[in-house]
Amino acid sequence: MSLKFEQLDVLKEMANIGAAHSATALSLMLGRKIGMDVPDVKAVTFNELTEAMGGAEREVACIFLRVAGEISGSMYFIMEVTQAEKFVREITGHQSLNLSNPPYSEYGKSAIKELGNIVIGSYLTSLSDLTKLSFIPEVPEFSIDMFGAVISEGLIELSKAADFAVLIRTVIREEDRQERHSFQGHLFLLPDYESFDHFYRALGVSDES
């Protein structure tokens, strides 16, 4: 399969809309100004994908959910572990919540999953509105582990048909850039192989047209 320039462009526009909705939802939840960077859409090999996030061994806090429906794929929200911990302490008001060392706080884990529901849910809802395609998100799961190990789970379906992934990535971050450690998270969508055609048809850039 080859990806044409205009097809990648359409995916980028779609990601822009999705991520903008996620950022707004997060802003409302946190009562802070959350913005997003221009989405990054490209076809990458599995190894390029892990390199894009600083290597397979890098420790990350990750919310992952599978999406079923006309569009299927894997959706991730990834943060630095220290950021995730800071985040749950902030939203719950409990400064002792621990996500840096196991056993992780169960309360902290549910707070993170809730964050995932909001960020990913608003992203997918806007994509569904835009494309009129159905997305059925499954229950989010949370893990703190090596990036390579968590991302490969989301590649399994896709890997049966392809040796590359289309990475649709947006960085969501606090607008106040002065504080270096302000909130930042990476939102990824890795569509399954069969989903590309549905996307393109819905968005009017199918090969057959």
Partner 1 sequence: MNLETAEIIKVGIADMNAAASPKKLRTSGLGSCVGLVLYDHERKNAGMAHIMLPTSDLARNEKFNRYKYADTAFHDLLKQLEKMGSPASRLKAKMAGGAQMFAFKTQNETMRIGPRNIEAVKELLTCHSIPLISSETGGSSGRTIEFDPATSLLTIRTVNLGTSII
Q: Which of residues 77-106 bind partner 1 (CB under 8 A)?
A: 101-102
**Amino acid making up residue 10:** V
Structure tokens at 92: 């719950």
Contact status: 159 vs partner 1 (CB under 8 A): yes
Nearer to partner 1, 15 or 166 (CB): 166
* Three-state secondary structure string covering 61-76: EEEEEEEEECCCEEEE
Residue 101 DSSP code: S
Alpha helices in 31-188 (DSSP H): 46-52, 81-92, 106-131, 147-159
Cβ at position 89, least distance to partner 1 in Å: 20
Evaluate the CA torsion angle 140, 71, 118, 90 in order and state its sign.
Answer: positive
Which window, 18-26, 33-41, 156-164, 179-187, contacts partner 1 (CB under 8 A)?
156-164
Contact status: 145 vs partner 1 (CB under 8 A): yes
Residue of 93, 139, 177, 178 that binds partner 1 (CB under 8 A): 139
Residue of 132, 160, 177, 180 that binds partner 1 (CB under 8 A): 160
Within 8 A by CB and 6+ apart from 10, the residues are: 199, 200, 203, 205
Contact status: 149 vs partner 1 (CB under 8 A): yes
Residue of 16, 92, 125, 152 that binds partner 1 (CB under 8 A): 152
Cβ at position 31, least distance to partner 1 in Å: 30
Contact status: 146 vs partner 1 (CB under 8 A): yes
Return d(Cα 21, Cα 19) in angstroms, integer: 5
Contact status: 169 vs partner 1 (CB under 8 A): no
